[in-house]
Amino acid sequence: MPTFTPAHAEDVLSTVQWAAAEAAPLEIVGHGSKRGIGRPAQTEHTLDLSKLVGVTLYEPEELVLSAKAGTPLAEIEVLLAENNQQLAFEPMDYGPLLGQAPGRGTIGGVLATNSSGPRRLKAGAARDHILGIHAVSGRGEAFKSGGRVVKNVTGYDMSKLMANSWGTLAVATDVTFKVLPTAETETTLAVRGLLDDNAAAAMALALGSSAEVSSAAHLPYPAVTRVVDGGLGSDAATLLRVEGFGPSVAYRIGKLKDLLKNAGPLEEVAGAASQALWRAVRDCMPFADGSETPVWRVSMAPADGHHVVMALRMQAAVEAFYDWQGGLIWLAMASGDPEAGLVRTLVRQFGGGHATLVRAAPAHRTAVPVFQPQPPALAALSARLKAEFDPKGILNPGRMMQAGVSANVDAAKEGAST
């Protein structure tokens, strides 16, 4: 398994050109912190970007940062913190969930997986903050898109095309992100003891108020016992995060307390403890148990999520918790079977969305589609796009869809008229 570890964008270009000419598949990795997500790859060669490092531009007053794709996320977060700034979309650290050390991952990987965290609800994901890229397509062509300014509609937004492409369209060599000020302070209001449906209602009420809640999660038992060293106890916790300038946070927390005074017992978690709590939610700590128990990441309309969990509990041994006001559902399938058909059927039945099998043993990830299958017309469009950018199928072949299959088609919708 020869590994290429280029230190310059030109060497990435020549590597991909060589691979394209030889039709030699490449697995594209940064730190490999998310390598366990997707269909297991069997590529002869690896293109390792972890030596392609360095922040090339950082202008805090312009709210912009550029870095080479292999730059460690941790390094960028430290640099931003020194200037009271952050990546507002709060990229998740998959390390703990996937049985790896925390704190790894590259900025290129953040974009390729469209990473985000609890603040996704208010601030968006990586796709909403990427401003520009330099990349090498599967054809071995180096190109750029976007720029370094926050407002730009010049040509197609190809930078967004890199988000959630999992290295299958092009290899990013340089990325430019919008950065934002870190909030002066934060406080979390916890409503205790709510059942999932009541929690969904409480979160909808809070998000529909002018309290500017930036994150909303619900941790039922037993998930609630597995964050911040069991510090929350065992009663279900519905968490509402408020961030900003001190006087504003105090006022808005007061407003939320008034709004939810009859919902259940209320607790405040302030400052660093609040931050630690949201890091645990972000990194899916309730299921970070070092096992390969299948874990799903499901995105739905916020008010629909708990219906899926309720229905699923009738038919399978499942543990769940919610982020994004209930719209991001983390599911751990205790029996060891991913139950892919059941999960995806229920998601469709209760309003639609998508389900990704982010953790499972390789055998399961080979047997069932890890990423949400698409209706035929959309799957065909995605396959045409892949063929335009990587006609030889050399970039992470099979990772998002089975190699040799032209598209990730939803069998249940095959033949449905569109």
Partner 1 sequence: MTGLAMPKPDAATLGRRAKIVADLALVVPGEGVVDTVTEMRAFESDGLTAYRQLPLVVVLPETVAQVSRILKYCNEHNIRVVPRGSGTSLSGGALPLEDAVLLVMSRFNRILEIDFPNRTVVAQPGVTNLGITHAVDQEGFYYAPDPSSQIACSIGGNVAENSGGVHCLKYGLTTNNVLGIEMVLMDGDVVRLGGRHLDPEGYDLLGVMTGSEGLLGVVTEVTVRILKKPETARALLIGFPTSEQGGQCVADIIGAGIIPGGMEMMDRPAIHAAEDFVHAGYPLDCEALLIVELDGPGVEVDHLIGLVEKIAVDNGSTTCRISQSEQERLTFWAGRKAAFPAVGRISPDYYCMDGTIPRKELPRVLAGMRELSQQYGLRVANVFHAGDGNLHPLILYDANVEGELDKAEAFGADILRLCVRVGGVLTGEHGVGVEKRDLMPEMFNQVDLDQQMRVKCAFDPNHLLNPGKVFPQLRRCAELGRMHVHRGQVAFPDIPRF
Q: Are 264 and 191 in contact (CB under 8 A)?
A: yes
Q: Is 198 in the site for partner 1 (CB under 8 A)?
A: no
Q: Which long-range contacts (CB under 8 A, 24 or more apart) does 19-27 make?
A: 19/45, 19/47, 19/140, 19/394, 20/138, 20/139, 20/140, 20/392, 20/394, 21/140, 23/392, 23/394, 24/394, 25/393, 25/394, 25/395, 25/397, 26/394, 26/395, 26/396, 27/396
Min CB(317)–partner 1 separation in Å: 25
Min CB(118)–partner 1 separation in Å: 12
Kindly write out the interface string for residues 98-117 of this chain, putting x where it contacts partner 1 by CB under 8 A and - elsewhere: ----------------x-x-
The enclosing H or E element of 249 equals: helix 246-259
Within positions 60 to 89, which residues make up the interface with partner 1, using CB under 8 A? Answer: 60-64, 84
> Which token pair is 73?
């996320």
Q: Is 53 in the site for partner 1 (CB under 8 A)?
A: no
Min CB(244)–partner 1 separation in Å: 7
Q: Which is nearer to partner 1, 212 or 289 (CB)?
A: 212
- Distance, CA of 369 to chain centre: 18
Q: Is 296 in the site for partner 1 (CB under 8 A)?
A: no
Q: Is 118 in the site for partner 1 (CB under 8 A)?
A: no
Provide the 8-state DSSP code for 166. Answer: T
Min CB(324)–partner 1 separation in Å: 6
Type of residue at 84: N
Provide the 8-state DSSP code for 325. Answer: G
Q: How far apart are CA 282 and CA 194, in angstroms?
A: 21
> Which token pair is 178?
């919008």
Q: Which is nearer to partner 1, 62 or 414 (CB)?
A: 62
Q: Which is nearer to partner 1, 232 or 322 (CB)?
A: 322
> Which residue from 11, 77, 267, 292 is in contact with partner 1, where contact means CB under 8 A?
11
Which range of residues in 28-36, 67-75, 287-295, 322-330 is near partner 1 by CB under 8 A?
322-330
Q: Is 124 in the site for partner 1 (CB under 8 A)?
A: yes
Dihedral sign for Cα atoms in the order 197, 287, 311, 343:
positive
> Which residue from 1, 82, 151, 262 is in contact with partner 1, where contact means CB under 8 A?
151
> Which residue from 79, 195, 273, 385 is in contact with partner 1, where contact means CB under 8 A?
385
Min CB(114)–partner 1 separation in Å: 6
Q: Is 238 in the site for partner 1 (CB under 8 A)?
A: no
Dihedral sign for Cα atoms in the order 88, 94, 100, 105:
negative
> Counting Cβ atoms within 10 Å, is residue 169 exposed (0-12), middle (13-18) or buried (19+)?
buried
- Distance, CA of 71 to chain centre: 18
Helix H, strand E, coil C: the string for 92-155 is: CCCCCCCCCCCCCCEHHHHHHCCCCCCCHHHHCCHHHHEEEEEEEECCCCEEEEECCCCCCCCC
User: What is the residue-wise DSSP string for 353-373?
Assistant: EEEEEEE--HHHHHHS-SSPP
Min CB(363)–partner 1 separation in Å: 23
Which range of residues in 71-79, 157-165, 227-235, 264-272 is near partner 1 by CB under 8 A?
157-165
Q: How many residues bind partner 1 (CB under 8 A)?
A: 109
Q: Are 248 and 176 in contact (CB under 8 A)?
A: no
Strand runs (DSSP E) across 204-264, as ranges? 213-219, 237-244
Min CB(61)–partner 1 separation in Å: 4
Kindly write out the interface string for residues 332-361 of this chain, putting x where it contacts partner 1 by CB under 8 A and - elsewhere: -------------------xxxx-x-----
Which range of residues in 31-39, 92-100, 151-159, 334-342 is near partner 1 by CB under 8 A?
151-159
Q: Is 289 in the site for partner 1 (CB under 8 A)?
A: no
> Counting Cβ atoms within 10 Å, is residue 17 exposed (0-12), middle (13-18) or buried (19+)?
middle
Which range of residues in 67-75, 219-227, 231-239, 298-306 is near partner 1 by CB under 8 A?
298-306
Q: Is 121 in the site for partner 1 (CB under 8 A)?
A: yes
Q: Is 412 in the site for partner 1 (CB under 8 A)?
A: no
> Which residue from 44, 184, 258, 414 is in contact with partner 1, where contact means CB under 8 A?
184
Q: How far apart are CA 252 and CA 182, in angstroms?
A: 18
Q: Is 274 in the site for partner 1 (CB under 8 A)?
A: no
Q: Which is nearer to partner 1, 128 or 235 (CB)?
A: 128
Q: Is 396 in the site for partner 1 (CB under 8 A)?
A: no
